[in-house]
Amino acid sequence: MTDAAGVLPGSAANGVSILAKQRTIAGPGFNRWLVPPAALCIHLCIGMAYGFSVFWLPLSHQLGISTSIACPADMSFFGRIFSTTCDWKISELGWMYTLYFVFLGTASAIWGGWLEHAGPRKAGVVAACCWCGGLLFSALGVYVHQIWMLWLGTGIVGGIGLGLGYISPVSTLIKWFPDRRGMATGMAIMGFGGGAMIGAPLANILMKHYATPTSVGVWETFVTLGVIYFVFMLIGAFSYRVPASGWKPAGWTPPANASKAMITTRHVHVKVAPKTPQFWLIWWVLCLNVTAGIGIIGMASPMLQEVFAGKLIGIAKTFNELSGAEKASIAAIAAGFTGLLSLFNIGGRFVWASLSDYLGRKTTYYTFFVLGIILYASAPWSGHLGHIALFVLAFCIIISMYGGGFSTVPAYLADVFGTQMVGAIHGLLLTAWSAAGIFGPVIVNYFREYQLDHGVPRAQVYDVTAYVLCGLLVIGFICNWLVKPVADKYYMTDAELEAERKLGHESSLRNEVGSRPASTEPSKPALVWGFWLLVGIPIAWGVYKTLQTAWVLFS
């Protein structure tokens, strides 16, 4: 028999911590469809990292309220960090965004192996404490006006929470859905892309609510979001369940042609994976795919405005010829473009990952690179001819593949390296994201600045960038082509695998499950539907708010 949550009893009576992996093993009657919404509870919260730009402008005039109070020109760097008398620059605040993704990759690489042994519940709780604690510490930093507290709180501590929260469900979902690996990881990682879609408009509403003549409402918003996110992340963490060793869906058997599909039934240890050429080839596959998309995300609004300028509002003017009111009008349209990209980013994470279950992971990445090359190469042409719809469509598809690259890679790793330590290996691979977070913006931003400095018209400054990104995608295509099955010498032996499972508390639990009769407890559809509504309603609200913004692009 299992308890009401579908967890094997017994371990609790032995004094095992409620956070221990032993307390999360699901009994025979557990419904696996309860796991994806648990992952979404965490990913939708940490995904707000993408939406933190909504705070830059209010924080840049936190003291001046209506206008920024500039620091003295001769004030030193350390003087600015500790000053309580002048406002922060947006460039200084932007370091929080950089720190997020540097520490996301670092934390997931360092603690990925620990997560496999500790289990997703403990990792989820630690992630909640780091992410939400970082928000509360940053709220105090805003209140006392110390920017270093924001860098440390949300940037570094919060970034560690991002890393642990991001990888916490990966291994678990892949083990629950061996028949639909791509779809399962796509559902969870879709939440990371959707976090900003919900959090950004919510933050705007909260800042307006808390704003007073003496406050821009940011620190109060940080506290509110921290509390809300902490509750949701704990719900997700305590709802995680892992299948007993050897579990598989009823009636499912591994496909007979698994070897042809590059799906291994053996396992590579996380310490051995970086010694294989496959790891570094997939590292570059992810890095180059993300590099091509992440720079565009950061420059989407100015790119549309500078390429089309007056054409966006039906007048024949370049960007520099527009009046202030006209620039405000095209800025609103560009905001709709940014919102539309966010929807394709989210949708691509689920759609492409689900398609990879049928196409195969390698073929899916071939599609990303070939289609990406075609679309990037066509962007300058559609921009010069004024085809706004084609330009927008091209970049929407590109961003869908950017999101799809994130959600497909965990299943790719499971296919190549096995499922035993896929969460830890995925954590190591996310350093590719950190690298791409540097490469992408540098390529897009610095090529743009270089060409503007050399007199290139604003409408043409992205042409060379598009062709450079095409070249990177060609390299990515070659790396993907070179990925072959792992050599036998890298796989764990049966003895090594059994030892690893003991470290993960799997062997004894497998025996405990095997000694129990099959559960006759029916699955609880009301519980499943209720949990999906808990995450589905915020997602639906976020989609609605995003479509409201994006509609400006078409009207």
For every residue of 190-218, DSSP letters joined together read HHHHHHHHHHHHHHHHHHHHH-BTTB-SH
pLDDT along the chain (555 residues), means of 10: 44 66 84 94 92 86 87 88 89 83 89 89 96 97 95 94 92 89 88 88 92 92 97 96 84 63 84 96 95 77 80 83 81 79 90 94 96 92 85 91 94 92 91 85 76 78 85 96 94 87 61 41 76 94 87 72
Residues 104, 39, single domain; the answer is: yes
Per the structure, the complete domain to which residue 189 belongs is given by 19-247
Residues 57, 136, single domain; the answer is: yes
Residues 395, 298, single domain; the answer is: yes
Number of domains in the chain: 2
Domain's final residue, options 247, 264, 294 = 247
Residues 361, 213, single domain; the answer is: no
Residues 308, 437, single domain; the answer is: yes
Domain's final residue, options 483, 511, 531 = 483
Residues 295, 342, single domain; the answer is: yes
Whether 51 is covered by a domain: the verdict is yes
Residues 189, 62, single domain; the answer is: yes
Whether 11 is covered by a domain: the verdict is no
- pTM assigned to the model: 0.85
Residues 241, 293, single domain; the answer is: no
Residues 294, 229, single domain; the answer is: no
Whether 304 is covered by a domain: the verdict is yes
Domain's final residue, options 247, 265, 293 = 247
Residue at 472: amino acid letter: L
Q: What is the CATH number of the domain that holds 190?
A: 1.20.1250.20
Residues 119, 174, single domain; the answer is: yes
Whether 177 is covered by a domain: the verdict is yes
SS3 20: coil
Whether 422 is covered by a domain: the verdict is yes
pLDDT given at position 370: 97
pLDDT given at position 25: 87
Residues 224, 297, single domain; the answer is: no
The burial of 260, by beta-carbon neighbours within 10 Å (0-12 exposed, 13-18 middle, 19 or more buried), is given as: exposed
Whether 160 is covered by a domain: the verdict is yes
Whether 426 is covered by a domain: the verdict is yes
Tokens 């095209």 identify what position? 330
Whether 127 is covered by a domain: the verdict is yes
Q: Which residues of 386-410 are buried (b: 16+ CB within 10 A; e: fewer)?
A: ebbebbbbbbbbbbbbbbbbbbbbb
Residues 161, 310, single domain; the answer is: no
